[in-house]
Structure 1
Amino acid sequence: MKILIAPNSMKGSLNAFDFADVLAKAFQQVSPDFEIHQVPVADGGDFTGEVLARRLNAEEVAVTVTGPLEAPVNAKYAVTGETAIIEMADASGMKLVERSALNPFIASSYGTGELMADAIQKGCKKIYLAIGGSATVDGGVGMLEALGFRFLDESGKQLKACGKILNQIVRVEKPTKQAKVTLKIICDVDNPLLGKSGAAAVFGPQKGATQEMVTALEKGLEKWAGLLEEDSGKSLRNIKGAGAAGGMSVPLIAFYDAEIVPGADFVLDQLGLKEEVQWADIVITGEGKIDGQTLNNKAPYAVAQMARAYGKPVFAIGGKTEPEASGAFDGIYSLVNGAMSLDEAMARASDLLFQFGLEFAKTIRCLSGAGQEK
C-alpha cells in the first residue's frame, strides 16, 4: 500500500514537516509494508517559505531586519539560483508581536522590504513572496520605503511609512534606480483591497484594529489605491487577493513585474504533487481546522481536488473538523473528540496525531492486507 502524506501546518502546534513525520512514524509502527512518501504542503500561509525552500533545495540566508513594531528581529529567506523565497511573516508577522501589542496603525512591512532588498542586492531576479500571517495593514508602504521609495504629504514633508499615514500621502518619490525583479505573490485568500471583504474590515481586527482604526485604514487604503492607479495606469483595487497582508501586493503590482498567484495551486505545482498523487494508493492531508474555510482552495482542499482527479481516495485530519467540509474528502477526522481545551489540544498535538495515526493505519492495513502489527 502506497501512502502519500501531504499535510499543511497545524497553526500554533505542528508545522507541516512534523505533521508528516508523526503520521509516517505511526504508519510504520503498524506495518513495515506501508510505502510512504511525505510531501508537506502550504498555500501562502504559515510555513510556505520553508516548504518551498526545502523542496527546491534553496540555501538559507539569515538577516536581522526591522520587525513590525520597529524592534529588530532575526529573519531569514532562501535562495535557489536567481530566485529568492521570502515569507513575509518571518519579518513582519503577527507571530513576532504579543497579541496585546498588535496595532496595524503603527505596524510596518519595512522588514519584508529589507529581506527583498537584501535578495536583490545578492543578485536575485525573481522573488516568491508568501504573504500570509502579516501584522500589517500598511498597503505595503513600509516595504516600499525599505526599497528606496519616499512618501510626501501635502506640505512636502516625508512621512514615516506605516498604516496610519496612508490617508496623508499625496506624492510618491521612486528610487533613482529601481531594481528589475519579477515577483510571484503567493496568497491564500481572494479578498479584494476595499469594502466589507477587504483588508481593513476583515483582517484589521485580527491584527488589533479597533472599529475606529478599521474606518481610518479603509479610507487610507482607498486613497492609496487611487494614487497608485493614477501613477501606474493599472486597475488595482478589485484584484482578487489584493486585500491580503494589508494590501501588500498592490504597490508591487503597480511598480514591479508582479502578480498574485493562488497559493495552494502554485505551491503544489512547485512541489510536483501531481506525480506523487499518481504514485499513491491513498492520500492523507490535513491542517489545524478542517471547515468551510478549507474549501476556499486551502492546501488540503487543493490536495483533495488533485487526488480525486486521479481517482485516489483522500482523507483529511484536523485538530478540529466541521461537517461542511466533509464532501471534499473521502473522510475527515478530528484529533479532539472529548472535552479538551484548545491550549491543551495544541500542546498535545503530536501525541494526539500519533495515537490517531496508529488506529487509522490499522484500519488501512485491514483493508489492504498490508503486513501485521509489530
Structure 2
Amino acid sequence: MKIDVKRGGGPPASFRSPSFQSLRPVQPIGRGLASTPQAGGPQARPFPAGVGALARNAIAANTRWNVTGLAPPADGRRWASGSSTGTGLFEARRLAAFQAGIIDEDGRPTVTTNESGEPVRSWPHDDTGYAITKKDLDVIGLTEGQVDLWRRFKAPLGMTEKDYEEFTSTLKDALAKDGLEVGEVDIRLQGSSAHFFSGRHKNFPTRETLSGPPEAKARLESWVGERPPSEWPARIPFDGKYKITGNPEDLSDYDVQLSSGAMIGRAKERWDKTSGQTRGHKEFINPKYNFADKRTVSEEFGALTRWAETWRERIGREVSVALFTGTGPPDTSGVGTGISTHFRPSDWIIKKAGEDRDA
C-alpha cells in the first residue's frame, strides 16, 4: 500500500493502518548519510539529531524502507533521543516518515500553506510516523471533518469551531480584566488536543504494559485487532487512554501556555510577599518544567483562574494554565527525555506577543 506523502495532503488513500515498509521518499537517498546530495539531484533531507546508527544505515542503504530485519528497541517504543546506537522498528519508521516529509525534525506533522496562504498540517502522525487510520478515528470518536479543522488550526480536538472561537475570545477578555496588555502576551496550546498525539513520554500501551481491569485489555485488543505491534501507534492519541481505560480522569485536557514578562513580574511580586511556610520547599520557577508557581499565578490573576474553571465545567475536561517568561519555555530538547515546549513554527499559536490579532 502506498501512502500519500505530499505535505498537507489528506489521509492514506486506502485509509488503512500504514506499514512503514510502504513509505517512499520524496527523492532518492544514496548509500551514505541522507544529508549527502545526489549527483544532479535535489538535496535530501538531513536526519534529525540523535538517530540510531543501525536504523540510519539501513534506511540510507534502502530507498524502499524495507527494514523488517531490524529488532524492536528494548523498551518496545521509545525513540532514542540523543543516542548514537538506538535501533528498532519505530526508529526506522520515524526516519522514513521524516525523509518523506510527513513529519518534521520534532516528530510533528509538517505545516505548509494552502492556496489562501493559511497554515495547514499534513495528516496526523505520531513522532514515529504512524498515520491515524479510520479505525483509530472511530475508536477515539473523531470524524474526518474534525480532523480537517484540526489540520487547519480552526479547532483543537474535542472542540467545535464555535467553541474554540469563544475559548480564545473569553481568554483574552479574562487577561484584560486582570489588567494585562493582551497584545503583549504569547498564547499557545500544547498537548494532544493541539498535536493529536502525546509526546514520547506517553507511550501507547502494549499487552505487557497495560494495567487495569479485563475490560481495558479487551478494549485494547478491539482497537488494534490483528495488527502486529510494529503497526500500532507508538504514542497515545487524543483521548486514547480514556478509550482504553474508561476512566474519565484519563480524558485529554487543554494545556494553555502563556508567556509574558509582565505576568511573570506580577506573579514574582506576590511570591516574594508569600511566607516561607506557605512556599515550603518550592521554587518560584519550577526547576523541572520551567513554569511559574501555579498557585501564585492563580491567586494573582483571578479572572484567568475563573475563566479556566468556567471552561472546565463547560467542556468536561481539565483546562491547565502554565505561565512562562516572555521568551517562552527554554529549549530542553537535548536534556533528559528531550521533551520540550519551546517556541516552534509548528506550535498551535493562538496569538504571538506583539500581535493583537490571532496568529
TM-score by length of 2: 0.23
Structure with higher strand content: 1
* Larger RCO, structures 1/2 (Cα 8 Å, 6+ apart): 1
TM-score by length of 1: 0.22
